Chains A and B, each alone.
Chain A
Amino acid sequence: MLAFVLIAIVKVLVVFTAMLLIVAYMTLMERKVLGHMQVRFGPNRTGPFGLLQPIADGIKLFFKEDIIVPHANRLIYILAPSVMVITALVSFAVIPFGDSVTILGHKVDMVVADVNVGLLYLMAISSLGVYGLVMGGWASNNKYSLLGAIRSSAQMISYELSLGLSIIGVLMITGSLSTVKIVGAQSQVWFVVYQPLGFLIFLISAVAECSRTPFDLTECENELVAGYQTEYSSMKFALYYLAEYAHILVISSLAVTLFFGGWQGPFLPPLVWFLIKVFIFIFFFIWIRATFPRFRYDQLMKFGWKVLFPLSLLNIMITGIVMSVIG
């Protein structure tokens, strides 16, 4: 029992630290990659190749004046960023990042918690994240924030739906909600081969779910100044950013887990394979940010409900038909 608790605590701490580190360096990666795509350098002054930039940013944001606007609902205003961060970080718990290993006679799964309803847990927790946006936007008592919050709630709900439906195909094939089992089922063929349409829908919904370009309507600076986070400063602002990038990390890991065989791969250790695949996805996220303009609010909703939603239903139907024919 003690061993079980100890292992769990160590795993949580290690994963938590690793996540924060990856998230910090994702910001650097994003700025570097964007810089090179946009004929400029990106950060290169803080440390060699700008490697200390995320740390400098963190320290700067930490020591910034923390402004709470008058007329804000203080409790909700302060609570909102932490809701975002907690949901984003906790949802990583069910992502397997390696095979089980035996340490001192104890079998240790390379996943924080192998829950038999893992995917359900993940979907539930990550949809809670939208509360962070809505609460923040509403509590700021600012019209731009409010508009951003309204947009984000509508967008999240719409795309949550197609995101959820797009992975039903995978569930039908494996017959399990456990992420560990799903990865195990892909030891021969990755599910992206069986579920190309599902993967496409998942990918688009995932970008929308993370509020990234071309779906970054919730905070689009050109229309809503900064959307829901207009009034946030200092560490609260940093928390929102942390949550946003953690969300990207979780969604990328989820994509890898569901469609690209998770940590499985030849020669290299499982963890390395997992990270390689995840970073390819993160790169993809940055790449589309550098390429596309932004959708308009009504177009976004139309796209979500009239294109993605029927398509994901169609995907489920096709999967069902094929499975019953093949048996």
Chain B
Amino acid sequence: MAKTDTMIINMGPQHPSTHGVLRVILELDGEVVVKATPDIGFLHRGLEKLAESKTYHQCITLTDRLDYVAGMTNNLAYVLAVEKLIGIEAPPRAQAIRVLLSELQRIASHLFWLGTHAHDIGAMTPLFYALRERDEILFMFEMVCGSRLTPSYFRVGGLAQDLPEEFEAKCREFIRTFPSHVDEYETLLTRNKIWMRRTQGVGAISGEEAINWGLSGPILRASNVNWDLRKAMPYCGYESYDFIVPTGKNGDVYDRYLVRLVEMRQSNEIIRQVLDRMPGGKVLVDDPRVVYPPKAKVQESIEAMIHHFHIASEGFPVPRGEVYASIESPKGELGFYLLSDGSNKPFRFRVRPPSFINLSALSTMVEGRLIADVVAIIGSIDIVLAEVDR
């Protein structure tokens, strides 16, 4: 009787399909995974600790570096938390623009997921199609704030500046053509027999289990749980837009794929609605506690000058208290927990990253499956390691 033994294989931190520096220690019996242990922390930068030494305004740039595929939504969640703590609300135009850019960001993030996920499963062409459209969105971001991945565009109390004039035409052109592009991806994948065989029934997780794991976002909805913070706890006026929240049935990789594709189409519809009824007015709240005085005033009155200097050098103090605010980011519930001691810097800064919590269910999803499924499942969770490790 020959002795048989399992084989330990290190998948990552340098591996083409672990989407960054995830390391999964796989115990294999042939090609079957007996045990999978994710090992994270290779991209830990101590962002949460770092934030404690920065003013509330400076923290915005840190949030860009969490989920770098969806910078806008990170900014939004953080800014909403600070606003909630201070007790201010951005003006309607700022809110509408926030929704607009968040939905564009959702599309961009899903497109990046789609391309890399399909590539993991062996279809190389969708990657290039998806990145083509994602680039259009990034160009729009560049137009809005001069930056493609790390926008830092949202401010406590509103936005850094109003949209440029040529933005609307470009955005309308994008939403006009985008649904046909989604059709293109679908012709390549949705009814493709190999794609269906590779994804259906793989990594299935029931709704109850998903809730117990604390999963959120498209993974949770693919398990037939209708939970979307945009509907359940609306922010930024999401309640006034008309859209549906897609859910899947089986909670497998295929359903997650379908859910994300429908979400892209729905986001496109939300963007159309925002553009159609974009309110006018200012994009920054009229509250001297957090907002710079107008430039003209600074140049003629010494008080305004001092005020400007204070905010620029020290930031603004935030009332004592604690707050948790969360949004539906492309990957799930992204929340910020802030504890303020009344100073200009957060006393405690804590992120609830959707990727990290979704990733925790990886081991249960992959055990007993093949190596090829591990890759498909990691892809379907849609993780960004910068957000997992922070």
Contact = CB atoms under 8 A, between A and B. Distances in A.
A298 B31 CA distance: 9
Interface string B115-138: 000111111110111001000000
B17 A223 contact: yes
B194 interface: yes
Interface string B150-192: 0000000000000000000000000000000000000011001
B122 to A, nearest CB: 3
Given A222-B375, A291-B188, A298-B370, A38 B128 contact: yes
A147 interface: yes
Contact of B9 (A39, A143, A214, A221): A143
Interface string A271-303: 000000000000000000111111111110000
A271 B79 CA distance: 70
Contact of B15 (A143, A214, A225, A295): A225
B16 interface: yes
Contacts of B232: none
A106 interface: no
Contacts of B121: 222, 293-294
A38 B9 contact: no
A222 B371 contact: no
Contacts of A220: 122, 372
A179 B142 CA distance: 62
B198 A291 contact: no
A299 B197 contact: yes
Contacts of B195: 293
Nearest to A35: B128
A144 B9 contact: yes
Given A214-B194, A221-B16, A296 B125 contact: no
Contact of B194 (A37, A216, A223, A294): A294
B97 to A, nearest CB: 30
B16 A225 contact: yes
Nearest to B120: A222
Contacts of B373: 296
Interface in A119-145: 143-144
A195 interface: no
B372 A223 contact: yes
Query: Quick one: which of B194, B195, B373, B374 has the most chain A CB within 10 A?
Result: B194
A39 B136 CA distance: 14
A45 interface: no
Nearest to A294: B122
Nearest to A38: B128
Given A216-B122, A296-B370, A298-B370, A223 B375 contact: yes
B7 interface: yes
Given A40-B128, A298-B370, A222 B122 contact: yes
Contacts of B123: 291-294
Contacts of A34: 124
A31 B198 CA distance: 26
Contacts of B189: 293
A178 B66 CA distance: 66
Contacts of A39: 128-129, 132
B105 to A, nearest CB: 23
Nearest to B9: A143
Contacts of A223: 17, 371-372, 374-375
Contacts of A221: 16
Query: Quick one: which of B7, B16, B373, B374 has the most chain A CB within 10 A?
Result: B16
Contacts of B124: 34, 38, 213, 289-290
A82 to B, nearest CB: 28
Interface string B355-377: 00000000000000011111100
B184 to A, nearest CB: 10
A225 to B, nearest CB: 6
A216 B372 CA distance: 12
Query: Quick one: which of B17, B122, B374, B375 has the most chain A CB within 10 A?
Result: B122
Contacts of B129: 38-39
B379 to A, nearest CB: 9
A108 to B, nearest CB: 44
A293 B192 contact: yes
Contacts of B125: 37-38, 290-291
Contact of B122 (A38, A40, A225, A292): A292
A222 B9 contact: no
Interface in A147-175: 147, 151
A295 B17 contact: no
A222 B198 contact: no
Contacts of B120: 222
A298 B123 CA distance: 18
A296 B372 contact: yes
A245 to B, nearest CB: 18
A297 B188 CA distance: 21
Nearest to A292: B194
Interface in B333-375: 370-375
Interface string A202-238: 0000000000011011001111110000000000000
Given A147-B371, A222-B120, A222-B375, A293 B9 contact: no
Contacts of A295: 122, 194, 197-198
Nearest to A289: B124
Contacts of B9: 143-144, 147
Given A39-B129, A290-B125, A296 B16 contact: no
A207 to B, nearest CB: 12
B217 to A, nearest CB: 23
Given A38-B124, A222-B375, A293 B370 contact: no
> Lowest 9 CB-CB distances: which A-B pairs, in order?
A294-B122, A38-B128, A293-B123, A222-B17, A293-B122, A296-B372, A293-B121, A222-B120, A293-B194
Interface of A: 34, 37-40, 143-144, 147, 151, 213-214, 216-217, 220-225, 289-299
8 contacts: A38-B124, A143-B9, A213-B124, A222-B119, A292-B194, A293-B189, A297-B370, A298-B370
Given A213-B122, A290-B124, A292-B194, 18 more contacts: A38-B127, A143-B9, A222-B121, A222-B122, A223-B17, A223-B371, A224-B371, A291-B125, A292-B123, A293-B122, A293-B195, A294-B198, A295-B194, A295-B197, A296-B198, A296-B373, A297-B31, A298-B370
Interface of B: 7, 9, 15-17, 31, 118-125, 127-129, 132, 188-189, 192, 194-195, 197-198, 370-375
